[in-house]
Amino acid sequence: MSLLSREDFVSALREVGTKRYHHLHPFHVKMNAGGLSREQIRCWVANRWYYQRGIPLKDAAILSNCPSREVRRVWLHRLTDHDGREGAEGGLEAWLQLGEAVGFPREELLDERHVVPGARFAVDAYVTFARTKPWPIAVASSLTELFAPDLMRERIAAFEKHYRWIRPEGLAYFRSRVPRAKGDSDEALDLTVTHCDTREMQDEAVAALSFKCDVLWALLDAIAGAS
């Protein structure tokens, strides 16, 4: 098979998200409609924390597999975006604040006592994928970011309308991710298109994004089953 054009390759990647991103999962549909209980929201926050803490591990794995200094420079900011640095807390701290806003002492998220096995398995599988696949394929798996801004906007609106018991400051993570996800996804898409330069790698990149959609879907399956 011949190499896809940039336009066709990007279209194939976007089609995966259109059909398989977790915005279609019944749990998310119910969340945005205001149909979740307080305990279901709390279960989601506690288990999604395990996913959040896995993101910098995934990004560090990509860096460790990448021989290109130029690419590492592009990707490096993702670690501090989540882990933070002195004087500038990152996404993990913002998620801990969301946990506090729904009533969790932060130690209950940090010690992972509420994480269910299915959620742990899904996230660990994603981190392992990033550690063991060629770095351009691992980067392609992160392209669910292409579809995140719209979901974040819907989530903010749903939480403000239906879940007013959540303290407003807890929504800071989502507000910050709307603009960042757009920049991150553009960055990752450019790297994917540039470095997946054979048809085999293009196909593997599309499969990687499909796998990531499976991870996010499995994570919600586990949360829905536990809440």
pLDDT in tens, 91-125: 999 999 999 999 999 999 999 999 999 999 999 99
Long-range contact pairs involving 17-22 (C-beta distance under 8 Å, separation at least 24): 17/143, 17/144, 17/146, 17/147, 17/209, 17/213, 18/147, 20/210, 20/213, 20/214, 20/217, 21/144, 21/147, 21/151, 21/213, 21/216, 22/213, 22/216, 22/217, 22/219, 22/220
75's enclosing H/E stretch is: helix 69-75
The domain total for the chain is 1
Does the pLDDT of residue 28 top 90, yes or no?
Answer: yes
Domain membership flag for residue 97? yes
Domain membership flag for residue 81? yes
Record the pTM.
Answer: 0.94
Confidence of residue 35 (pLDDT cuts 50, 70, 90): very high
Does the pLDDT of residue 63 top 90, yes or no?
Answer: yes
Span 147-172, average pLDDT: 92
- pLDDT > 70: percent of the chain: 100
Domain membership flag for residue 181? yes
Look at 181 and 77; give whichever has higher pLDDT.
Answer: 77
Supply the CATH number for residue 16's domain. Answer: 1.20.910.10
Domain membership flag for residue 1? no
Range of the domain at 216: 6-226
